[in-house]
Structure 1
Amino acid sequence: MVFVAPEHDYCVSPASGVRINELVMQNEALQKQVQMLQHEVQRLQLRTRFCLERFKCSDDDIRHYTRFASYRHFQYFWKLVEPAVMTKMIRVTNTKSSTASSERFPTSTKLPPIDELFLFLMYLAVGSTHRDLGERFGIHRTTVSRIITTWANFLYDLLGRQRLWLPREVVRARLPVEFALFPDTQVVLDCTEIYCQTPSDLMLQSEVFSTYKSHSTLKAMIGIAPHGAITFVSALYAGSMSDREIFKQSGIISVLEPDMAIMVDRGFLVDSLAPCKVYRPPFRSGKRQMNPHDVLQTQNIARLRIHVERCIRRVKENKFFDGVIPLAACGIIDELFNVACYLVNYQNGPLVKAWATC
């Protein structure tokens, strides 16, 4: 047998082995530092980019910008509408033309669809202008206009398909104890007005001028179920139209039945139009003062009817309706107002905490 001694590696020594270990450890530390810096860059980019994810950790900001109670509530709503976004949404591509062309929602857009919804909700909730939204999201003002028109029409169609009007059995099953004196109440009705720009045409001025507001307005009727959910929204009418005429033209008469009852304000003189019972505060009818029964009836109805005014206030928490609606926005104002009403049922909790189980 011939024994061959192994070759000696003159390049490796105990000192150089320690050095290699140190370099490996330094390399691992540098890789961790690079990862940390990458995360920091992503965080800073997110801070500079205006989008929904930027506010996911702040429910107060989500409430301010979208009127949804929290980021979790917003995500629940998004999951409801997301399947229809890619299949049913029609994107407006030319809002200036009288015959606007439309196409199915493209696969790539300036913003992700969820951020487009965020932009639309900001337009309603904060009342931001097109210029301001364009600067925030880094897109052109015309793109902002098209996004708003697209989502207004989409949500108007999608949410409007959901049944608002509840069957009589469902309403009575959820009747709060406060309505024990009026157990057959199906809906509580009230009208509300929003300011609009005065048109130059004198005939139109006379039609939209409201003597109650002393301004040009648009008027709608909103109805809520006794447990607080919005169950009826009419179209917007000229501000000069009376509550009785809006009640007649809104279409609510066709869904009322004789064994139902509606609750209205004193000015709703619809007894001859409604095919059901009408709960309304009684008039003094020339008497010097009301009798005790009428006083008690007035107090009971007023205490319950106030909830429809609270619900309307939720709609008008959207700052878009605070100012005067320009005539340029009147082309989609019906859609915007109805969508704002529909969203109230998704954005908020019950009007009264005790009604959470209703």
Structure 2
Amino acid sequence: MWFGSYDLLMRFWALIEPSLPSMVSVTPAQRGTFEPSSTVSRYLQPIDEMFMFLNYLALRLKQHDLADRFGVHQSTVSQIITTWSNFLYAVLGSVRIWMAVEKIREHLPAEFKDYADTTVILDCTELRCQCPSSPLLQSEVFSVYKSHCTLKGLLGVAPHGAVTFISPLYAGSISDKQIMRESGILSLLRPGMAIMVDRGFLVGDFVPCKIYRPPFLSGRSQMPVGEVRETQAIARLRVHVERLPLRLFGNINQLYTVACLLTNYENGPLVKAWTKKQGSTSAGLF
């Protein structure tokens, strides 16, 4: 589940409950209309609807399975999922997640002492999707890297684990450079900041700040010891982004964004998970 305890779940509920009157419920798809939640017949209490939605995201449960578990029709499940993805997209998306440099430094983990000016760790993630029947659309969403049709998004995470940037999803054929230009992240970066990226993230010609990137081997038989250590250090720190739980279905842009934002409400930063292992997973990251 998204929350480490029942108490955290109820704290999250208390956070969003005041916004429930503004929720717009989606009627069954064949009607193609939206109605205020007060005019739509509710089969479950709002907190149970939210719990169903979280189960859908976190456990990858099918809609017919959720219908059986919650004792409602499958069309009701679909309605609830769409309604709550739109609602949480609006409520959580209204909170500014980009952090001031001073706040990032205030919460900087000790493991980042050699990269203390790091403002954000950036990585592109690709979500496998069904291939369209149109050859033109297939060419748009086909990812050479994944050898499949995908949607691609840029994610940013602060050194202490908080998600601080989420781009919209783009067709899988988009390059890292292009998504960097179009996502809006450049307007947030300033001289004096630093970003941490993957080895293949070649954006140094237009990014207005320092970049930490593992060195290339560049045809050499082996790396110098210093570069090997730098590669391993950055790999351990970049694992923040690589471990984000992206369990996404259906209403994709809303679900994708909500799933990423929900990680900020979990029990503690992602950094806790890997500091216990101290690099045991770094070997396979690049």
Same fold (TM over 0.5): yes
Cα distance, 1:97 vs structure 2 = 4.4
| Native 8 Å contact 1:166 1:231 kept in 2 | yes
Q: Tell me, what secondary structure is at the counterpart of 2:114?
A: coil
Cα distance, 1:220 vs structure 2 = 1.2
Q: In the alignment, which of 271, 277, 281 is matched to residue 352 of structure 1?
A: 271
| Native 8 Å contact 2:25 2:40 kept in 1 | no
Asked if 1:334 is matched to 2:269, the reply is: no
Q: In the alignment, which of 237, 254, 262 is matched to residue 343 of structure 1?
A: 262
Q: After superposing the two structures, state which structure 1 stretch, 274-283 or 333-342, moved more.
A: 274-283
Cα distance, 1:300 vs structure 2 = 2.3
Cα distance, 1:107 vs structure 2 = 8.2
* Cα root mean square deviation, aligned: 1.9
Q: Which residue identity is paired with 1:69?
A: G
Structure 1 residues 156-175: aligned runs within 5 Å: 156-175=89-108
Residue 95 of structure 1 corresponds to 29
| Native 8 Å contact 1:93 1:103 kept in 2 | no
Structure 1 residues 74-85: aligned runs within 5 Å: 74-85=9-20
* Cα distance in 2 between the residues matched to 1:353 and 1:229: 12
* Cα distance in 1 between the residues matched to 2:76 and 2:105: 46
Question: Which sections of structure 2, spanning at least 5 residues, go unmatched?
Answer: 276-286
Cα distance, 1:94 vs structure 2 = 4.1
Q: In the alignment, which of 52, 67, 72 is matched to residue 7 of structure 2?
A: 72
| Native 8 Å contact 1:219 1:236 kept in 2 | yes
* Cα distance in 1 between the residues matched to 2:96 and 2:87: 16
Cα distance, 1:212 vs structure 2 = 1.9
* Cα distance in 1 between the residues matched to 2:217 and 2:272: 35
* Cα distance in 1 between the residues matched to 2:18 and 2:35: 20
Cα distance, 1:269 vs structure 2 = 0.4
Q: In the alignment, which of 43, 47, 50 is matched to residue 117 of structure 1?
A: 50
| Native 8 Å contact 1:188 1:225 kept in 2 | yes
| Deviations 1:89-119, CA, capped at 9 Å, x for gaps | 1111243345x33324448611100001011
* Cα distance in 1 between the residues matched to 2:80 and 2:255: 13
* Cα distance in 2 between the residues matched to 1:352 and 1:246: 26
* Cα distance in 2 between the residues matched to 1:277 and 1:110: 53
Cα distance, 1:293 vs structure 2 = 3.3
Structure 1 residues 103-252: aligned runs within 5 Å: 103-106=36-39, 109-252=42-185
| Native 8 Å contact 2:123 2:154 kept in 1 | yes
Residue 212 of structure 2 corresponds to 279
Percent identical among aligned pairs is: 55
* Cα distance in 2 between the residues matched to 1:353 and 1:303: 12
* Cα distance in 2 between the residues matched to 1:276 and 1:200: 42
* Cα distance in 1 between the residues matched to 2:40 and 2:145: 49
TM-score under structure 1 normalisation?
Answer: 0.72
* Cα distance in 2 between the residues matched to 1:134 and 1:291: 58
Q: Which residue identity is paired with 2:122?
A: L
Cα distance, 1:297 vs structure 2 = 2.3
| Deviations 1:57-102, CA, capped at 9 Å, x for gaps | xxxxxx3xxx32121111111010111112x11111243345x333
Asked if 1:309 is matched to 2:242, the reply is: yes
TM-score under structure 2 normalisation?
Answer: 0.89
Distance 1:299 1:114, change over 3 A: same
Q: Which residue identity is paired with 2:265?
A: Y
Q: After superposing the two structures, state which structure 1 stretch, 332-341 or 126-135, moved more.
A: 126-135
Q: Tell me, what secondary structure is at the counterpart of 2:30?
A: coil
| Native 8 Å contact 1:94 1:102 kept in 2 | no
Q: After superposing the two structures, state which structure 1 stretch, 104-113 or 214-223, moved more.
A: 104-113
Distance 1:149 1:291, change over 3 A: same
* Cα distance in 1 between the residues matched to 2:190 and 2:263: 26
Q: Which residue identity is paired with 2:60?
A: G
Q: Tell me, what secondary structure is at the counterpart of 1:180?
A: helix
Q: Tell me, what secondary structure is at the counterpart of 1:213?
A: coil
Q: Which residue identity is paired with 1:229?
A: A
Question: Which sections of structure 1, spanning at least 5 residues, go unmatched?
Answer: 1-62
* Cα distance in 2 between the residues matched to 1:353 and 1:128: 28
Q: Which residue identity is paired with 2:201?
A: F
* Cα distance in 1 between the residues matched to 2:95 and 2:159: 19
Q: After superposing the two structures, state which structure 1 stretch, 182-191 or 234-243, moved more.
A: 234-243
